[in-house]
Amino acid sequence: MCLCFFRGKGYSIEFVRNMWDIKDKLERGPLIQITDKADDICAICPNNAGGTCTAQAKVAEYDRQVMQRCGLAVGDEMSYRDFDELVRQRIILPSKRKEICANCQWDSMCEKIRA
């Protein structure tokens, strides 16, 4: 969901660079697998403490909400394009994002972006 709103801001220069790389790769439409653990984005995040997010409880709830609203479960595989479309149709277009992550530190920035 965050990728829809990513415009080059993030937790560190390395984090932002990694986000651009991942965004580039995903736009080519690879197969992805749903996980509720630290993922390829978390890999270069300063909040990743040995594979666990320092805000794990908050992030786990965001993940749970996105999976539930998209009808997905951990381990599901699909093309990134299908996943992106699901997130847009079920969360972003009906303006449900704030119901999930209004308490995120980046909320005010995402609020200004038309994803």
Q: Does 53 bind ligand SF4 (CB under 6 A)?
A: yes
The identity of residue 14, as a single letter, is: E
Contact between residue 53 and residue 42 where contact means Cβ atoms under 8 Å apart: yes
The CB-of-68 to ligand SF4 minimum distance in angstroms stands at 18
Q: Determine which residue in the list 59, 70, 87, 110 makes contact with ligand SF4, applying CB under 6 A.
A: 59
Contact between residue 66 and residue 100 where contact means Cβ atoms under 8 Å apart: yes
**Among residues 78 and 104, whose Cβ is nearest to ligand SF4?**
104
Q: Does 42 bind ligand SF4 (CB under 6 A)?
A: yes
Q: Does 110 bind ligand SF4 (CB under 6 A)?
A: no
Q: Does 34 bind ligand SF4 (CB under 6 A)?
A: no
The CB-of-25 to ligand SF4 minimum distance in angstroms stands at 16
CA 18 to the chain's CA centroid? 13
Beta bridge partners of 49: 52
The identity of residue 67, as a single letter, is: M
